[in-house]
Structure 1
């Protein structure tokens, strides 16, 4: 993710999502990710809803910032952003339901067809891998 936070209200972006399933799934993810992260949603670039933020540094020296949890209701499927490489080989993915994956991305065409408890566990583990520990 090479862009950054914007001042566009999340509701304005979500109101522009016309695909019925993507819009419904966006509402579900908004609630799920907010509950898991305890963070307020914000827009990251023109089409990604983010929660929290983390700084990454690759072995190549490239570094930047990204949302600690995020999703985007894309045309073909909803993209759920996880920490790159986090879910590779995860037994949770085997129990999730219909999906495809990319580097750091989980693609779901319909959240009604996946196990939301498994999705929540994936998001939680990914978020906790990069989020700062809670202040006590």
Structure 2
């Protein structure tokens, strides 16, 4: 049976951020840490080796695959900063038009730096995502 690799760990979020090589990315990571903590009300936790997650939920797919994941999160990766924010519908599209410079992938938004985005829109996206996940997975 498949086992998810991204699990909540006891590793230090601050130690992880301090280990980010780029001073600018490290600064952005602290800024995002503040935004996500303030917006969600959850304490940041490490998920796997490189995702900073907030809150958690349990999912179960029709296929039988199930696991736990953070409600929302981010990772200051070398190339870009990954924002793990998914709404599951097109309500995200309207907000993204005002979000700023970004690219999209399934369940993920990539940015180069926090200065490229509107942080007020980011907060709205975080709230929207948490609401969507809680409605989709009521055990969250």
Task: Provide structure 1 residue ranges, at least 5 long, that are not aligned to the other structure.
Answer: none
Within a 5 Å distance, the mapping from 1:1-136 to structure 2 comes to 2-83=5-86, 85-86=88-89, 90-131=93-134
Report the Cα offset of residue 128 of structure 1.
Answer: 2.1
Contact 1:87 1:93 in 2 (8 A): no
Task: Provide structure 2 residue ranges, at least 5 long, that are not aligned to the other structure.
Answer: none
User: 3-state SS of the aligned residue for 2:110?
Assistant: strand
- The two structures, once aligned, show a CA RMSD in angstroms of 2.0
Q: Which consecutive aligned stretches of 4+ in structure 1 deviate over 4 angstroms post-superposition? A: 86-89
Report the Cα offset of residue 36 of structure 1.
Answer: 1.0
Report the Cα offset of residue 21 of structure 1.
Answer: 2.4
Partners of 1:60 and 1:84 in 2: how far apart? Answer: 21
TM-score, normalised relative to structure 2: 0.86
TM-score, normalised relative to structure 1: 0.88
Report the Cα offset of residue 88 of structure 1.
Answer: 7.3
Aligned length: 133
